[in-house]
Amino acid sequence: MKIILLGASGLIGSKLLKQMLIDPEITRIVLFVRKSLAIQHEKIEQHIIYFDAMNDFAQYFNGDALVCALGTTRSKTPNQIDYRKIDLGYTMEAANLAKTKGVKQIHLISSMGAYPKSKVFYSALKGEIENLIIGLKFDKTIIYRPSILIGERSESRPMEKLSQKLNWLYDPLLFGRLKKYRSIKAELVATKIISEIKKKNTGVHILDSEEIKQD
Catalytic positions: 122, 126
Quote the Cα angle for 146-148-150, to 5°: 100
Pairing of strands 65-68, 44-48: unpaired
Closest by Cα among 18, 20, 5 to 61 = 5
Kindly report the number of other CB atoms within 10 A of residue 116's CB atom.
Answer: 14
Q: Which residues contact 7 (CB under 8 A, 6 or more apart)?
A: 13, 67, 68, 69, 70, 71, 109
Q: How far apart are CA 144 and CA 124, in angstroms?
A: 16
**The 44-48 sheet, strands edge to edge:** 44-48, 28-33, 2-6, 65-68, 105-109, 140-145, 203-208
Q: What are phi and psi of 205, to 5 degrees?
A: -135, 130
Q: Sign (positive/negative) of CA torsion 102, 142, 197, 149?
A: positive
